[in-house]
Structure 1
């Protein structure tokens, strides 16, 4: 339900492609099998979810009424701690998601007309790569 609530609040014109039961089955049989799936709870309720692995974030959603409280940042941090190179798709019209990713170092690398996704909604591919740690040389001191 987190995904449905967050996505439909951001983009209410999207068509309902799947039933709640089909969504649940996708999470159970695909995401939970192939990805790390984490939830964030606030006041005893599931407020955000992320599914990631193999260099991709497949899902990242936070309930609309708690967006801006740091939940998405904490979930994204888990993926960034586990992966050095990350890609993800979001819809071009989802301005809030785009601003979220861009403010956290993700860069848009490709835009499509949406013909490759179920919603037929123009989307954008984002990329983030961990920068290498600087190497300090004892010989370079004082020069």
Structure 2
């Protein structure tokens, strides 16, 4: 359950904590995917680009701090990452519901082909796989899949 967790827009002061959630979540969910950027590069990107220029939402747990994040860029749900121990508690469901509310005309997202739990999660929320790639267009060079949700 996600009682005591508030979803809110990120503030500049949240950039480091959000980046650290992203780093821990990526490492736990995608251990075989090679990241082309260092941890500090990711933190800088969150500070300089993601938080000031994107629609980023964070999940803040009372007494714990930032435990999840979602980044929207128009109809693109570009990132959804949770602290590993917060997976399976309904927090991702809340983020997807918020994304659908913010983009009622539809959403698209990319996830890696190796991330089978993400496929199941998004399909459960009505997303359909519409394109599979060899990964040549992403910086990780990892095969990915594009999902679309239309109301």
Fold shared, TM-score > 0.5 on shorter chain: yes
**1:121: Cα distance to partner?**
0.7
Measured against aligned partners, the alpha-carbon deviations of 1:31-69 in whole angstroms (never above 9, x if no partner) come to 223321111023422111001031101110011111010
> In structure 1, the residue corresponding to 2:35 is in which secondary structure?
coil
Q: How many residues align?
A: 130
Q: Specify which structure has the bigger relative contact order, considering alpha-carbon pairs within 8 angstroms and separated by 6 or more residues.
A: 2
Alignment counterpart, residue 52 of structure 2, candidates 26, 33, 41: 33
TM-score by length of structure 1 reads 0.85
TM-score of the superposed pair, with normalisation by structure 2: 0.80
Which residue matches 1:62? 82
Alignment of 1:119 with 2:140, yes or no, is yes
Q: Which runs of 5+ in 2 are unaligned?
A: 1-19
Could you list the structure 1 runs, at least 4 aligned residues long, displaced by more than 4 angstroms after superposition: none
The answer for unaligned runs of 5 or more in structure 1 is 131-143
